Amino acid sequence: MGAGHAHALYVHEHSPFHRLVPEVKIAAAVGMITCVAITPRQEVWAFALYAVIVMVLITISRVSPLFVLARLAAVAPFVVFALFIPFIGTGDTTTLWGIELSIDGLWATWNIIIKAVLGASISIVLTATTEVPDIIRGLGVLRVPALFTSIATFMIRYLELITEELGRMRVAMTARGYDPRWLYQARPIATSAGAMFVRSYERGERIHSAMLARGFTGEMPIFDRRRAGPVEWASAALLVSVFAVVALLAFTTS
Amino acid sequence: MVLAMHAPDGFLNPGTAVVTAVISMVVVGFSLRQARAQLSERAIPLAGIAAAFVFAAQMFNFPVASGTTGHLLGGALVAILLGPSVGTVVVTIVVVVQALVFADGGLTALGYNVLNMAVVTSYGGYAVFRLLRKVFPSTTGGVVGATGLAAWASVVMAAVAFSIEWLFGATAPIPFDQVFTAMVGVHSLIGIGEALVSAIAVGAVLAARPDLVFGARDLDRAQLEESRLPRTRTFVIGGVLVALLFATVVSQFAVDNPDGLEAVAVDKGFIDSGSDSAMAGSIFADYATEGISNETVSLAVAGIVGTIVTLAVAGGIFLALRERRGRSPAPV
């Protein structure tokens, strides 16, 4: 409830990106976003090019542009922060509609917003075309420690359940006429968080016993699955190198 | 809160992103090994469920004032409940999954997001907790009080860590001392909610399953049963007072000093040379345009608070190491 994290962003579709092996997609996304992040901010044309490529990627992924826009809300607080910078920034100023604005600050606003939006859009394409367990498995192939990916898998498996349980506690409180408005009334919510921890922990212990009963030895079994072929890696490398060339050109012209 | 967490791509400069990523990877790698040693083969289900708990708790809003709500960050809370190493691992996984699966927070910003939200809150918060446990009585009230203050400190330390990263990696011409004052000021208020909810949550766990509170393993059951929890209102009032006091001290420190230094700069005649040093194109361009006076003060402030936060984090890591050695294997 509340912050809207409860459901993954996966969009069920059939596109080349949906079929791509997850580790290739993750590596490509990180590569592309890195290029965007290091591009000098005054090279506006470079960001325009990135934006065009990202729009092409969104089209290929068959994810609706409106869906991407809606999901971009995650960067909204930073956009708001960025919009304040020209008013409080230092350095040379310019006057726009009678208001003094910091030039450097305006560049900073542009820099933060464009990089946040491009980065988040690429991430959204990744998450919209890859199912959650596949993302985690992809991380494993990319040499993230097995303990880390196993814990993450467990977290995702039980996230919905625990969120629901917390939601039910909240509903139960509301049903009994409890509607706190001030921080000093937060005690029941805090105690239910504590109760929730105990329940979660005990559930973890039960799951552990059940796993032991099924022959668990401390490592999660790895199932055979399709590995990325040279063609897939090459296409990802091509995509990233397009971004890299743009970034490089931006550096040379700046 | 929003500014310290889930920063998007390119919010700090590439150098800062790389350095914080390396630091985070080293500390999280260490924490993973510690967590495995502490929980053995139970690590996967228990830490997994704990991560789901933190994730869910971050969605669970509590009231703040007249209809506005806040939510838990949970770093200090999990560190106290499960130990700082497991806490770091758990919150890191939450942050990484939020970025990778929910596109919340930049992928190239993971270095500083993990450092601020997981490493600093868990190890820093736990170190403060242990320090306070030495001062407070060994009762439920003592543990709960120490939890509250440690949770508050963990949020403030995350804000401090962000401000220091801003000093090195700013992408906007806002001087460090302004960012520092604003971040620490806002977070010392946000921290009150974190403190209250963490403290009461630990109190509730102590009442139901005292054996599950890592930070209170030294207490015996008899002590726990006779002592009672402090009242919520006492907490809120105490929290507000501490936060206000802290915010006042910090703002004095951060705002008055530049004025003093600027006066010196004017006397010495180098304030003009300081403010003209615009170096467009360089990664540190925005930082350099701040001018000499701010830079000096910034470095001093950053140096002092940075040392304190680093000491706290290092202390937490040290505690995690030491407690591992002195601990017999937990019953399954």
The candidate with the shortest Cα–Cα distance to B187, out of B75, B47, B269, is B75
Same domain, A49 and A73: yes
Task: Of B310, B315, B327, B269, give the one whose Cα is nearest residue B293.
Answer: B269
Two tokens, residue A163 = 């969120």
Indicate the burial class of B236 (C-beta count within 10 angstroms; 0-12, 13-18, 19 or more): buried
Domain boundaries, chain B: 14-325
| Residue among A71, A152, A204 whose CB faces B93 most closely | A152
Contact criterion met (CB < 8 Å) for B52 and A151: no
Q: What is the mean pLDDT of residues B273-281?
A: 36
Please name the residue of chain B whose CA is at the shortest distance from the CA of residue A71.
B103
Same domain? For A24 and A82 the reply is yes
Which of B42-51, B135-144, B194-203, B299-308 is predicted with the least confidence, judged by mean pLDDT?
A: B299-308
Of A91, A180, A191, the CB nearest to B173: A91
The C-alpha angle A208, A214, A218, rounded to 5 degrees, equals 55
One-letter amino acid for residue A157 of the chain: R
pLDDT band at B115 (very low <50, low <70, confident <90, very high): very high
Element (H, E) at B63: strand B61-65
CA distance B326 to B125: 21
What pLDDT score was predicted for residue B244? 65
Q: Is residue A189 one of the residues assigned to a domain? A: yes
Do residues A44 and A127 share a domain? yes
Q: How much is the mean pLDDT over chain B?
A: 75
Whole-angstrom distance, CA of residue A29 vs CA of residue A6: 23
Q: What is the largest CA-CA distance in chain A?
A: 74
A220 lies in some domain: no
Give CA–CA dist B38/A133, Å, rounded: 26
- pLDDT of B1 reads 38
> What is the mean predicted confidence (pLDDT) over B242-263?
52
CA B7 from chain centre, in angstroms, equals: 15
Residue of A nearest to B195 (CA): A190
pLDDT confidence of residue B312: 79
Contact of B117 with B95, CB cutoff 8 Å: yes
- pLDDT over 60 at B271, yes or no: no
Q: Which two tokens stand for residue B177?
A: 């001392």
C-beta atoms of A127 and B98 within 8 A: no
Give the residue with greater pLDDT, A34 vs B58: A34
Assess whether pLDDT exceeds 70 at residue B246. no
Domain region containing A75 = 16-139+226-253
Instruction: Specify the residue for token string 């310290």.
Output: B4
Chain B interface test: which of A47, A161, A184, A199 (most B C-beta within 10 Å): A184
Averaged pLDDT, B231-249: 64
Please state, in angstroms and rounded to a whole number, the distance separating the CA atoms of residues B223 and B201: 19
Q: Could you tell me if A157 and A36 lie in one domain? A: no
Residue of A nearest to B62 (CA): A186
CA distance B23 to chain A (A): 16
- The verdict on A133 and A150 lying in the same domain is no
Report the C-alpha gap between B44 and B91 in whole angstroms. 14
pLDDT at A86: 80
Q: What percent of chain B has pLDDT over 90?
A: 18
Contacts of B48 in chain A (CB under 8 A): 150-155, 157-158, 204
Residue B316: pLDDT over 60:
yes
Identify the closest residue of chain B to A103 by CA–CA distance: B173
Closest partner residue to A36 (CB to CB) among B9, B93, B212 is: B9
Residue of A nearest to B283 (CA): A40
pLDDT band, residue B36 (cuts 50/70/90): confident
Q: Which site among A187, A199, A243 would you substitute to test the B interface, given the most B Cβ atoms closer than 10 Å to its Cβ?
A: A187
Residues of B in contact with A6 (CB under 8 A): 59
A and B: number of Cβ contacts within 8 A: 321
> Is the confidence at residue B23, as pLDDT, over 90?
yes
Phi, then psi, of A93 in degrees rounded to 5: -125, 160
Q: How far apart are the first and last CA of chain A?
A: 46
- Cα–Cα distance between B149 and B195 in angstroms, integer? 6
Same domain, A21 and A110: yes
Residues A70, A158, single domain; the answer is no
**Which residues in chain A touch residue B207, judged by CB atoms under 8 angstroms apart?**
194
- Residues in chain A with CB shorter than 8 Å from the CB of B236 are 183-184
Select the residue of B44, B290, B332 nearest A150 (Cβ to Cβ).
B44
| Minimal C-alpha gap between A68 and chain B (Å) | 10
| Least confident range of A117-126, B139-148, B266-275 | B266-275
B189 vs A126, more confident: A126
Q: Which of A79, A136, A159, A220 is best to mutate for the B interface (most B CBs within 10 A)?
A: A159
Closest residue on chain B to A207 (Cα): B45
**For position B270, what pLDDT does the model report?**
38
Longest dimension (CA), chain B: 70
Distance CA(B100)–CA(B283), nearest Å, equals 27
Nearest-CA residue of chain B relative to A204?
B46
- Check A154 against B51: CB less than 8 A apart: yes
Of A123, A159, A182, which has the smallest distance from its Cβ to B56's Cβ? Answer: A159
Q: What are the counts of helices (DSSP H) followed by strands (DSSP E) for chain A?
A: 10, 2
As a whole number, mean pLDDT of residues B284-298 equals 47
Kindly list the residues from chain B whose CB atom is less than 8 angstroms away from the CB atom of residue A131: none
User: Residue A224 has what pLDDT?
Assistant: 61
Contact list in A for residue B332 (CB cut-off 8 A) is: 208
- Measure the CA–CA gap between A215 and A209, rounded to whole angstroms: 10
Does A69 fall in a domain?
A: yes
Which residue in B has a C-alpha nearest to residue A211's C-alpha? B45
Q: Residues with Cβ < 8 Å from B309, sequence gap 6 or more?
A: B120, B124, B157, B160, B161, B164
ipTM summary value: 0.87
Residue to substitute from B3, B85, B107, B284, interface A, most A β-carbons within 10 A: B107
Interface test with A, best of B49, B61, B89 (most A CBs within 10 A): B49
- Residue B102: predicted pLDDT: 80
Of B198, B217, B177, B173, which Cα lies nearest the Cα of B298?
B177
Q: Three-state DSSP class for A164?
A: helix
Q: Report the gap between the CA of A112 and the closest CA in chain B (Å).
A: 6
Residues of A in contact with B79 (CB under 8 A): none
pLDDT over 80 at B301, yes or no: no
Q: Whose CA is closest to B64, among A178, A181, A192?
A: A181
Distance from CA of A210 to the nearest CA of B (A): 10
pLDDT, residue A30, reads 92
**How would you write the pLDDT of chain A (254 residues) with one tens digit per residue?**
333 444 567 777 778 788 888 889 999 999 999 999 888 888 889 999 999 999 999 999 888 888 888 888 878 777 888 888 888 777 777 777 767 788 888 888 898 899 999 999 999 999 888 888 888 888 888 888 888 888 888 888 888 888 888 888 888 888 988 877 777 777 888 888 888 888 888 888 888 889 889 888 767 776 666 777 888 899 889 989 999 999 898 888 87
- Rounded to 5 degrees, φ, ψ at A102 are -75, 125
- B221-236 residue pLDDT tens: 666 555 555 566 666 6
**B69 forms bridges with which residues in the sheet?**
B63
Please report the pLDDT score of residue B248 as a whole number.
59
Decide if A112 and B281 are in contact by the 8 Å CB cutoff.
no
CATH class as words, domain B14-325: mainly alpha
pLDDT reading at B249 higher than 70: no
Rounded (10°) angle between helices A146-175 and B14-39: 80
| Residue B255: predicted pLDDT | 46
Number of domains, chain A: 2
